Amino acid sequence: MPGLSRLTAGLPLPVILLTYGLAGIGGLLASAMGLPLAMLLGSMITTAGAAMLGLRFFGHAPSVPQKWRFVLVPIIGVAIGASFPEDFLTQARQWWVTLAALMVFIPIAQGLGFGLFRRFGRLDRQTAYFAAMPGGFIESLDMGERAGADMTMLIMLQFLRLILCIVLIPIGFSIFEGHAVGGAAGMSLATREPLSAFDAGFLAMLALLGWFIASRLKMPAAVLSGPLLLSGLAHATGLTHAAPPGWTILVTQWIMGASLGVRLAGFSKGQAGMALVLSVVNVSALLLIALLIALTLSGPVGEPVSAVLLAFAPGGVSEMSLVALSLHLSAVYVTLHHLARIVLAVLFARFGQRFVPGAP
């Protein structure tokens, strides 16, 4: 069936269902163990481990269509938009301090990563340069491929940047707080009351229309930013007070975790080991810098240290926004900074690539 094949990206449907089933089991086990962001981390770790250990379903490695997760990412945007306070503009006027700090953080992060990958990883200049981008996953791969980078290592380093932030930040917060964070029980942005058919339809309309408008305007992370801004406008002006229910956030964690985990299949152990060591050092250094910025600037912007730290963490915008939702931080503040980080990282990388041999 050609239509089904396109829908499943050519993957056998039983393989997809078994992979999601395995991911769901991992998420439930992580929840029972009290791990932070249990559904996301549990599903990701389970599928990644199965892929790297060579598990096969009907002759196929654990696999899911990567595009399926984009159907759920708008839920994050709508949920964040539901947290827009009426005095949003008043609060946002204080955020210029950390937004300006991003303009210093981005080149420092790029330079630090480039030096690390060149000196200790012995990577070529093109691969080291684009692997060091602290934002813009897709853009870094596109520019790196055109510049002749080692795509296997570039993909692994950029992917591990996202993964390590998802893993290290909730665990670090849990250690600091003394208990697991990010559980479903306390999702403050998700309403506990059943949605009416009208509310559900209205939220779905905000998600789809926001995604469409943002895509046409070529906004960064359009699948998230469009629904977020349209939902924020609707909630701030009182058009609706509805928010996505908690189970939709858990399902989004589950699907995203599975999508991230299966992408570790196909890498050799040697490549994965080298990339992991380099990424741990790089991400740890960037998180330390982010912590110093947070300790310095949390007061002037009126946000807790944890929110500022998460705003500067070099993870993916969808994933970090989901972490902010689960940790009950100001998801609006965090997401705005991550959207700005992506734009600045891409602009800086494009400006500097002229100095990288082989770049177009």
Q: Which helix (H) or strand (E) holds 302?
A: none
In a domain, 116, yes or no: yes
Taking the C-alpha atoms of residue 116 and residue 135, their distance in angstroms, rounded to an integer, is 17
pLDDT of residue 24: 95
User: 276 by DSSP, 3-state: which?
Assistant: helix
Q: How confident is the model at residue 343 (pLDDT cuts 50, 70, 90)?
A: confident
pLDDT of residue 178: 60
pLDDT of residue 2: 59
pLDDT at residue 312 tops 90: yes
Residues of the chain with pLDDT > 70, as a percent, come to 89
Ranking 163-167, 206-210, 267-271 by mean pLDDT, the lowest is 267-271
Residue with tokens 């970090």: 320
pLDDT of residue 201: 92
pLDDT of residue 123: 93
Residue with tokens 């399926």: 68
Burial environment of residue 276 by CB neighbours within 10 A (0 to 12, 13 to 18, 19 or more) = middle
For the segment 15-28, what is each residue's pLDDT rounded down to a tens digit? 999 999 999 999 99
Taking the C-alpha atoms of residue 314 and residue 151, their distance in angstroms, rounded to an integer, is 20
Tokens of 103: 């303009």
In a domain, 276, yes or no: yes
Q: What is the mean pLDDT of residues 288-303?
A: 93
More confident residue, 321 or 112: 112
pLDDT of residue 273: 85
More confident residue, 206 or 253: 206
Contact (CB, 8 A) for 143 and 350: yes
For the segment 175-195, what is each residue's pLDDT rounded down to a tens digit? 776 655 554 433 444 444 567
In a domain, 81, yes or no: yes
Phi, psi (5° rounding) for residue 57? -110, 110
Residues of the chain with pLDDT > 90, as a percent, come to 32
For the segment 58-92, what is each residue's pLDDT rounded down to a tens digit? 888 899 998 888 888 898 889 888 877 666 777 77
pLDDT of residue 357: 59
pLDDT of residue 189: 44
Sorted by sequence, the CB contacts under 8 Å of residue 231 that are 6+ apart come out as: 77, 78, 79, 80, 81, 82, 84, 203, 206, 207, 210
More confident residue, 267 or 144: 144
Contact (CB, 8 A) for 243 and 82: yes
Taking the C-alpha atoms of residue 109 and residue 131, their distance in angstroms, rounded to an integer, is 11
Residue length of the chain: 360
In a domain, 307, yes or no: yes
Taking the C-alpha atoms of residue 166 and residue 23, their distance in angstroms, rounded to an integer, is 16
DSSP H helices, 219-268, are 222-236, 246-261
Mean pLDDT, the chain, whole residue set: 84
Longest Cα–Cα distance of the chain, Å, equals: 59
In a domain, 300, yes or no: yes
For the segment 110-166, what is each residue's pLDDT rounded down to a tens digit? 999 999 999 999 999 999 999 999 988 778 888 888 888 888 789 889 988 988 988
pLDDT of residue 291: 94
Q: Specify the pTM.
A: 0.75
More confident residue, 47 or 170: 47
The total domain count for the chain is: 1
In a domain, 13, yes or no: no
Ranking 1-5, 106-110, 262-266 by mean pLDDT, the lowest is 1-5
In a domain, 251, yes or no: no
Residue 275's nearest CA partner among 29, 30, 36, 52 is 52
In a domain, 344, yes or no: yes
Tokens of 117: 């990958």
User: Which structural domain, as residue segments, surrounds residue 320?
Assistant: 70-242+267-355
Q: What is the DSSP string of 156-197?
A: HHHHHHHHHHHHHHHHHHHHHHTS----GGG-TTS-SSPPPH
